[in-house]
Amino acid sequence: MRKADYGKIAAFYDRGRSLSEQNMEMWLALVSRYSGAQEGAEVLDLGCGTGRFAIPMAAQLHFRVTGADSSPEMLGRAREKDTAAQVSWDQKDAQKLTYPDASFDAVFMSHLLHHTDSPPSVVAECWRVLRSSGVLLVRYGAIEQIRDDIEHTFIPEVLAIDEARTLSIGTVEGLIKDAGFSDVVSEEVVQQTCETGAARVELVTAKHTSVLTMVSDKAFQEGIRKLTAYVASNPDDPWLLFDRMTLTLGHKRSEG
């Protein structure tokens, strides 16, 4: 499976991935509601990257957060941003976590599974490290949601890569159920990522999703050209402003 080089991406990763205050509040509210976690709960942000969610979960939800990622470069950026040292940062392989069994009250992951060689192993590790009554929350763009979005429409090479690796909602739900989780449900979340079409062009130009770093420069530049022309003709098209994502969760229920 083709993978993005996060050692190189780390230097500019945050440039196109910051969430507005409104969007962050929306996602934190969803995490709080669906996890049922109280202040002081031990939460693992698996595949935390530069701490986009780990730091707000610690600062605003007052969870005891551990951020785990396989990239030392991404973790380096996370530590720099965590000026109050509110999060514990660990370099870990999501498929082979070294945390003891029953270490966390909740596990959160965002856009992680399609980057791993074995998504079932990742989900199984989440089951193992969760305490009884713990919750797994998975935030992602399912293939049926991203297939016709901006990047995949204007840069066909992106679609070819993601068709081969991106999971459907049904597949994610199946993985979670197969690992032993119960009460598995999914909610589609519509996020207004951009205020204007021009802002969407800026995001794509900043390669705000890692797959954009994996295509040829020729394909990327041609896609930017076509997107820019489309925005000039359709500046108010809502398609340019919104993204559809999914939050899927499962519960680890006590036995007996």
- C-alpha 138/C-alpha 152 separation (Å) is 22
Residue 169 identity: I
In a domain, 256, yes or no: no
C-alpha angle 104-110-112 in degrees, rounded to nearest 5? 95
pLDDT at 8: 47
Go through 121-152 and write b for each residue having 16 or more CB atoms within 10 A of its CB, e for each that does not.
Answer: bbbbbbbbbbbeebbbbbbbbbbebbeebbbb
Which runs of E-coded beta strand occur in 86-193? 87-91, 104-110, 130-140, 182-192
How many domains does the chain divide into?
1
Q: Quick: pLDDT tens for 30-52.
A: 999 999 999 999 999 999 999 99
Pull the structure tokens for residue 47: 């595949």
Domain interval for residue 37 = 6-251
Question: Confidence band (pLDDT; 50, 70, 90) for 98?
Answer: very high
3-state SS class at 24: helix
Exposure of 65 in the CB half-sphere (CA atoms within 13 A): 28
pLDDT at 157: 94
Q: Quick: pLDDT tens for 146-185.
A: 999 999 999 999 999 999 999 999 999 999 999 999 999 9
Phi (first) and psi of residue 87, to 5 degrees: -120, 145
CATH code at position 108: 3.40.50.150
Question: Confidence band (pLDDT; 50, 70, 90) for 256?
Answer: very low
Give the position of tokens 């840069």. 155
The H-or-E segment that residue 240 falls in is none
In a domain, 106, yes or no: yes
In a domain, 1, yes or no: no
Across-strand partners of 244? 190
